[in-house]
Amino acid sequence: MYNFDITRPTTVDEAVAALSADEAQPLSGGQTLIPTLKQRLAMPSVLVSLTAIDEMKGITEGPGTLKVGGGTTHGDVAQATKGSFAGLHTLASKIGDPAVRARGTIGGSVANNDPAACYPSACMACAATIHTNTRDIAADDFFQGMFTTALDEGEIVTAVTLKVPEKSSYQKFEQPASRFPLVGVFVAKHADGVRVGVTGASNNGVFRWAEAEEALSSNFSPDAIEGLSVSAEDLMGDLHGSPEYRAHLIKVMTKRGVADAS
Amino acid sequence: MSVGKPLPHDAAHLHVTGAARYVDDIPAPANALSLAFGLSHVAAGTITAMDLSAVRAAPGVVAVLTAEDLPFDNDVSPSNHDEPLLATGEVHYMGQPVFMVVADSHLNARKAARLGRVEIDPRGPILSIESAMEADSRFEDGPRIWTKGDVGQALQDAPRRLQGRIEMGGQEHFYLEGHAALALPQEGGDMVVHSSTQHPTEIQHKVAEALGVPMNAVRVEVRRMGGGFGGKESQGNALAVACAVAARATGRPCRMRYDRDDDMVITGKRHDFRIDYDVGYDDTGRVLAVDFTQMTRCGWAMDLSLPVADRAMLHADNAYLLDAVRITSHRLKTNTQSATAYRGFGGPQGVLGIERVMDEVAHALGMDAADVRRRNYYRAMGDVAGGPAPRPADSPRSFPTEMKEGDIASRGSQAFDDDRAEVGVASENTTPYGMKVADFILHEMTDALLERCDYFARRDAIAQWNAENGLLKRGIAFSPVKFGISFTLTHLNQAGALVHVYQDGSVHMNHGGTEMGQGLFQKVAQVAASRFGIGVDRVKITATDTGKVPNTSATAASSGSDLNGMAVQAACDTIRDRIAACLAELHQCSAEDVRFADGRVRVGGEDMSFTRAVQTAYENRVSLSATGFYKTPDLAWDRIKGQGRPFFYFAQGAAVTEVVIDTLTGENRILRTDILHDAGASLNPGLDIGQVEGGYVQGAGWLTTEELVWDDKGRLTTHAPSTYKIPACSDRPGVFNVDLWDQPNPAQTVYRSKAVGEPPFMLGISAHLALSDACAACGPAYPDLQAPATAEEVLRAVTRARG
């Protein structure tokens, strides 16, 4: 780790101000950033901790929506969604291990946009709105590729509002050693159609499987996508699985998700 | 008598409370230094420039050494003098140590090591079996070939024939305690070394060479390892030698431990193999001829690869009597870590080859695979005529006139061939290498196991279940193991012990074996206690020490209890007989009538405590200290011809595993495992069952989730637990029934027990075969499941089975 200063503002405004410093970087739960710092892969001058900002924490139910503060931990999301939002509950309660879930936050996860992170798939499938200190961004516009988002320099994810689906399921095929998704699929059936978010699989990060969404919107059953297939082109191939295997798993996980949600 | 009791591991309490002291826990003097290696970042090439100024200038750095700074031998090979401690001009794999840093702390040494600038002119590395074969990059001048019968003719004449190939990956040892060493310089240039090693004499020998001193100037101590699995038979040399050299250079104690990633990147692993087979068989499932071609990547240095590859050949038969067989073995030199010993030492790879043949033959005939296996078994012990085994002559016909450079206490030794081997060839029930199998008990064991686990009924129920279920398929498979016990380098089959009895009747026990968690010390202590007729609590188990027992063999080849138990028994008996003689004289009776049992000694009409007996002996000036020595009898082996009697006996076992696979993803689980394992008359059934359970799970891990991946530059990409998956507690079978056969060993071993370290590893093969069986339920074709059977590979096999 290189040396850095740390500051712990208590409001979003203070945090934004602190982030205007040269080489300042926001720190949320630190489950990705701290190991990165340890590896000396980042050299911030100042870390702006977001964990003391109360206005960024907590979960509020709206009409058909769930607003999750950017600083809310996975553990808190898992707790709050138990019995009410199956897909999100499964997703949050299976991220990492208890230590990770006690520290890691939804804001950190979506802002980082790791291609194998779980949350982005839920955001895509639940037509989420990403709230920042300056604007609201639709999930479809927010995630722009591996580790790339629409966020500007110094912009903070303050909350994420998800549309609560009628039915949902998150299916994660775990890479056995790390338990990151080799493929993770979030299936959400909304009143106005079905959305399918896929993570872990693509070289371009999270994406929606449009053909499946269309087929499932008219017939929400695993059979509806029987004839579909995912192209392995542009999917990740690495030591844990080939692009073809990932393509195959996307369909299997989607069907599982539909079966589970139905 | 304590022998035969399921006593817990002697250090179990210390393990679970954290009080057990491992090498890196030993308090070092305040001025101790720490070491780290700077590693090669390319797999093959020539070092053109090295700038270590930043390393030298880094905080806490006391010294930086390269090959040129080493005072004497720059070699840590256990075999061929082809393994420099620090690279000399050429680098041969990614991760090879190039320089070493000596600093005031572990962290400072590691940080500084990263600052080295080593320029290397890269060469195209040889990474694959194909490229090694093409370049004829190999150890030895050509393949080793052993034959029995006329294979070509038998293949031609066979009514049925099939060919195939199985690839099997290597395996990271993943001992919980990584490699570690501590060197403490003594007066007059002597050195004391603590090392996490299975082979203290090897460490002593390599350190002495590196310091330019005789072996008597180096003392090596090993209290325990946190796991070895073969990974600490030769791979600890580098750390111990580095520490000793640095300690000599600085005059200060030096310690070194590998970070987990470094450990995985630097040290050798299990040999991966490709085995091609051409099989002739008949309609009854009898295998008439097999032609095996075994190819293995040995990595960049010879290490122990020759005996490993030999043992793969020696187990190409497993439990089956093959009348016509040829085994061709290619030992390929590649720019990867130098593959090394790993539980089974090539045996598992050889066994998987023939088990695969049985599996495919059974599939081709539509027969039950367990039946096919039984049809091909060696004849049972009772059905084989006795008769003399080939024996060695009394003494060598010729002695080497000049000692070749070599490492005679290592399994890698080729210093001289043992020309005592009057290698006779037995004529019936013989292995491919001409050894009569006279102790085969797998017929009875198989019958008992299949009945105990209700194999045939469950097999039918599984077939029924599979017919009713589309997505999930279950599979069941039986596999036996017959594993040869002895070092194949005959002269290593010896052991020494040192036993003292103190005036208070307490016993101090020492032998050449090392404790790596397997429970060797407890088993041997039970032997000592039984010889004296006292409780095991009166026997002090002490650290392995080259100053107490010299010229030890590695604790390897499953031989720890066999060899050291006998040596300790001999030492104890010497003392006991002296006490008995003394008491007999005092009581005017025969020494044979003196009885040692239950902590008491009975002589004539008198009954006294063991302590009183000891005190009497002491007062009568009887020596209460003795050494013991043992050498395994009846061994004779010519590895070039592939003929003889390399093994004292065979340890056997059998397993049935049931699995379920998801045909959509290839995910799989072991549902149930039943094992019947032959540990002879077990010295300690508790510890032995632990070895069987652990061996099975480790073997199943090798063939399922444990996958080593190198990229096309030769970089090991699976070098941490985040990418390399060993079985966890939750991966063990849901139902796991392990029983010991518990019949005395016909060979005269210590209390008629059998070696138990390695053989059960091969029972894990039944998990792979069960997965194959489940895949075969998906279609008409043979699934041709490769290893490791990761989820993706299982899915591929499902696809192949569908045809």
Q: What is the DSSP string of B62-102?
A: EEEE-GGG-SS-----SSSS---SS--SEE-STT-EEEEEE
Tell me if B723 and A178 make a contact (CB, 8 A cut-off). Answer: yes
For A241, name the nearest residue in chain B, comparing CA atoms only: B792
Domain map (residue ranges) of chain A: 5-49, 56-163, 167-261
CB contact, 8 Å: B718 with chain A? yes
Closest CA relative to residue B226, chosen from B513, B517, B26: B517
* Residue B502, H or E segment: none
In A, which residues are within 8 Å of B114 by CB distance?
none
Average pLDDT over residues A80-94: 97
DSSP structural state of residue B28: P
Strand spans (E) along B413-506: 472-485, 494-501
Which CATH class name applies to A56-163?
alpha beta
Residues of B belonging to the active site: 758
Question: What is the predicted pLDDT for the residue at B397?
Answer: 44
* SS3 (DSSP) at B383: helix
B351: its two tokens: 């066994």
State CA A110 to chain mean position distance: 5
The one-letter code for the residue type at B342 is Y
State how far the Cα of B193 lies from the Cα of B222, in Å rounded to an integer: 9
* Residue A38, H or E segment: helix A33-38
Percent of chain B with pLDDT over 90: 94
* SS3 (DSSP) at B604: coil
Q: Give ∠ CA B662-A194-A89 in degrees, rounded to 5.
A: 65
For A174, name the nearest residue in chain B, comparing CA atoms only: B667
* SS3 (DSSP) at B184: strand
The one-letter code for the residue type at A202 is S
In B, which residues are within 8 Å of A178 by CB distance?
722-723
B554: its two tokens: 């590695």
State how far the Cα of A157 lies from the Cα of A108, in Å rounded to an integer: 8
Question: What is the predicted pLDDT for the residue at B413?
Answer: 80
The CATH number, out of the four listed (3.10.150.10, 3.30.390.50, 3.30.30.10, 3.90.1150.10), of the domain defined by the range A167-261? 3.30.390.50
CB contact, 8 Å: B722 with chain A? yes
State how far the Cα of B42 lies from the Cα of B208, in Å rounded to an integer: 31
- The complex scores an ipTM of 0.89
CB contact, 8 Å: B664 with chain A? yes
**B-interface mutation test, from A239, A253, A258, A260, most B Cβ less than 10 A away:** A239
Question: What is the predicted pLDDT for the residue at A39?
Answer: 86
State how far the Cα of A81 lies from the Cα of A62, in Å rounded to an integer: 14
Strand spans (E) along B359-468: none
Tell me if B795 and A248 make a contact (CB, 8 A cut-off). Answer: yes
Tell me if B665 and A241 make a contact (CB, 8 A cut-off). Answer: no
Tell me if B707 and A242 make a contact (CB, 8 A cut-off). Answer: no
Question: What is the predicted pLDDT for the residue at B383?
Answer: 87
CB contact, 8 Å: A222 with chain B? no
Question: What is the predicted pLDDT for the residue at B406?
Answer: 67
How deeply is A145 buried, as exposed, middle or buried, from its count of CB atoms within 10 A (0-12, 13-18, 19+)?
middle
Tell me if A240 and B664 make a contact (CB, 8 A cut-off). Answer: no
Dihedral sign computed on CA atoms, order B258, B261, B265, B267? positive
Tell me if B792 and A239 make a contact (CB, 8 A cut-off). Answer: no
CB contact, 8 Å: A252 with chain B? yes
CB contact, 8 Å: A241 with chain B? yes
Tell me if A239 and B664 make a contact (CB, 8 A cut-off). Answer: no
State how far the Cα of B220 lies from the Cα of B236, in Å rounded to an integer: 12
Question: What is the predicted pLDDT for the residue at B385?
Answer: 66
* SS3 (DSSP) at A224: helix
* Mean pLDDT value across chain A: 96
Question: What is the predicted pLDDT for the residue at B459?
Answer: 98
CA distance A239 to chain B (A): 6
The answer, yes or no, to whether the previous bond of B788 is cis (omega within 30 of 0) is yes
State how far the Cα of A22 lies from the Cα of A3, in Å rounded to an integer: 14
A111: its two tokens: 């802002």
Tell me if A239 and B718 make a contact (CB, 8 A cut-off). Answer: yes
Q: Which residues touch B795 (CB under 8 Å, ≥6 apart)? A: A245, A248, B663, B664, B665, B666
In A, which residues are within 8 Å of B264 by CB distance?
none
CB contact, 8 Å: A167 with chain B? no
State how far the Cα of B382 lies from the Cα of B407, in Å rounded to an integer: 41
CB contact, 8 Å: A242 with chain B? yes
Blockwise average pLDDT, block size 10, chain B, 803 residues: 95 96 96 98 98 98 98 96 96 98 98 97 97 97 96 98 98 98 98 98 98 98 98 98 98 97 98 98 98 98 97 98 98 98 98 98 98 97 66 44 67 60 70 96 98 98 97 98 96 97 98 97 98 97 97 96 98 98 96 96 95 98 98 94 96 98 97 98 98 98 98 97 94 97 96 98 98 98 98 98 95
Could you tell me the maximum CA-CA distance found in chain B, to the nearest angstrom?
A: 85
Closest CA relative to residue B496, chosen from B396, B410, B569: B569
Q: Are B800 and B690 in contact (CB under 8 A)?
A: no
For B708, name the nearest residue in chain A, comparing CA atoms only: A239
State how far the Cα of B638 lies from the Cα of B490, in Å rounded to an integer: 10
Average pLDDT over residues A134-162: 96
Neighbour count for residue B278 (Cβ, 10 Å): 18
Tell me if A242 and B792 make a contact (CB, 8 A cut-off). Answer: yes
Average pLDDT over residues A92-116: 96
Q: Are B480 and B652 in contact (CB under 8 A)?
A: yes
The arrangement of secondary structure in A5-49, i.e. its CATH architecture, is: 2-Layer Sandwich (3.30)
Q: Are B474 and B776 in contact (CB under 8 A)?
A: no
**B-interface mutation test, from A32, A100, A174, A178, most B Cβ less than 10 A away:** A178
Question: What is the predicted pLDDT for the residue at B775?
Answer: 98
Of A176, A178, A241, the CB nearest to B705: A176
B1: its two tokens: 């008598």
CA distance A234 to chain B (A): 19
DSSP structural state of residue B20: P
